[in-house]
Amino acid sequence: MKLKSLLFIAVALLLSAGTNAKKAKPVTSGNPILPEFHADPEVLFSHQTGKFYIYSTTDGVRGWGGYYFTVFSSDDLTNWKHEGIMLDLGTSQVAWANGNAWAPCIEEKRQADGSYKYYFYYSGHDIAKDRKSIGVAVANSPTGPFVDLGRPLVDERPEGAHGGQQIDVDVFTDPVSGKSYLYWGNGYMAGAELNDDMVSLKPGTTTVMTPRGGSLRDYQFREGPYVFYRGGKYYFLWSVDDTGSPNYHVAYGTSTSPLGPIEVARDPIVLIQDPKQEIYGPAHNSVLKIPGRDEWYIVYHRINKDYLYPTPNGPGFHRQVCIDRMEFNADGTIRRVQPTHKGVAPVKKINRKKY
């Protein structure tokens, strides 16, 4: 009798364990995904290494005064490793700028011999002109070492643009033509084709393409352009309102050309605050497509809830990097993203040899 009882208890425990295992919640990244304060994140999948990388503004410094860029890597979008400082505007590594290391982007380019080069674009405080300009540094690895061009790539406001700074740069390679483009702007949006060297602009291609109209409630352009291609359309995302505002959010439009004109979406808001969850100012984003799959993610920053206006202890420069899924409707429009504290589940392994 005792033996039967023991067997019954053992079977019951095994069944219970199996039931609990089925109910176990999947591991997710959690938001924010990076430690401390970072902003303006750029996400990259490297075909050379098979890893994901995030580059960002180093935040938490009064007056947005960070002077170096770091890089984090991940195998699955949930666990991130700090790879160190990859470009330092406070040293001789960058001769023309001395601070305000803001809003970077990066492009991986496969060379004719099968190797890879990485072109890292960023804005910094131009010493000679005492204002913001855009530079570029190049490396053979996504973590560096990076060698700066030694001078700004963009240091003048384009003709037709009024006000704003030369900041918030984005780079995009058109899968249709193979051409690469640079976008930037604060107060205006500009775009230009890059030459094959990726460190100079093709003369005569610079275009002011600021989306017209809108308000702070919906799509009025402020800064942070980001471009990607899907289903025959070029998608343009940008940030609305001030970076320190809880209302800072992402809007979008589309075009049939990498240099516009942009048609603002009928429902233009992609991502916006959720006060019930204490999520504020989610914007200045980049977008990630998983190679070989129609699987998309949006990487963005939000304001730490303890540093909202009108607090005097650092509103606007205590931001944190987050990630959430981004999905599309059948007609190609972007579904509004629900910002979460949960983040995303680990991404399935990518066979990079196929791409």
User: Would you state the pLDDT for residue 17?
Assistant: 45
User: Would you state the pLDDT for residue 327?
Assistant: 98
Residue 322: partners with Cβ closer than 8 Å, 6 or more residues away: 31, 32, 33, 282, 299, 300, 301, 302, 339, 343
The DSSP element (H or E) to which 230 belongs, if any, is strand 223-230
The DSSP element (H or E) to which 9 belongs, if any, is helix 2-23
Structure tokens at 297: 């993610």
Residue 112: partners with Cβ closer than 8 Å, 6 or more residues away: none
User: Would you state the pLDDT for residue 350?
Assistant: 78
Per-residue pLDDT of the chain (355 residues; tens, 9 = 90+): 444 444 444 444 444 444 444 445 568 999 999 999 999 999 999 999 999 999 999 999 988 999 999 999 999 999 999 999 999 999 999 999 999 999 999 999 999 999 999 999 999 999 999 999 999 999 999 999 999 999 999 999 999 998 899 999 999 999 999 999 999 999 999 999 999 999 999 999 999 999 999 999 999 999 999 999 999 999 999 999 999 999 999 999 999 999 999 999 999 999 999 999 999 999 999 999 999 999 999 999 999 999 987 766 667 899 999 999 999 999 999 999 999 999 999 998 777 666 6
User: Would you state the pLDDT for residue 26?
Assistant: 61
Q: Is 326 left (phi over 0), alpha (psi -120 to 50) or beta?
A: beta
| Helix (H), strand (E), coil (C) string for 239-276 | EECCCCCCCCEEEEEEECCCCCCCEEEEEEEEECCEHH
Confidence (pTM): 0.92
* Active-site residue, 223 included: yes
Block residue for tokens 């909202």: 308
User: Would you state the pLDDT for residue 21?
Assistant: 44
Residue 287: partners with Cβ closer than 8 Å, 6 or more residues away: 43, 226, 228, 235, 237, 296, 297, 298, 299, 326
CATH class as words, domain 29-350: mainly beta
Structure tokens at 34: 């990076």
Q: Which residues on adjacent β-strands are paired with residue 58?
A: 38
User: Would you state the pLDDT for residue 354?
Assistant: 67
User: Would you state the pLDDT for residue 9?
Assistant: 41
Structure tokens at 323: 């990630």
Structure tokens at 206: 């610079």
Structure tokens at 330: 């059948």
Helices (runs of H) and strands (runs of E) counted in the chain: 1, 19
Which one of 126, 223, 241, 324 is the catalytic residue? Answer: 223
SS3 345: coil
CA distance 79 to 264: 35
User: Would you state the pLDDT for residue 315?
Assistant: 72
Q: CA 167, 171, 174, 177 torsion: positive or negative?
A: positive
User: Would you state the pLDDT for residue 316?
Assistant: 85
CA distance 260 to 191: 9
Backbone φ, ψ for residue 328 (5° rounding): -120, 150
CA distance 26 to 283: 27
Which one of 40, 107, 148, 324 is the catalytic residue? Answer: 40
Sequence ranges of the domains in the chain: 29-350
SS3 151: coil
User: Would you state the pLDDT for residue 4?
Assistant: 46
SS3 354: helix
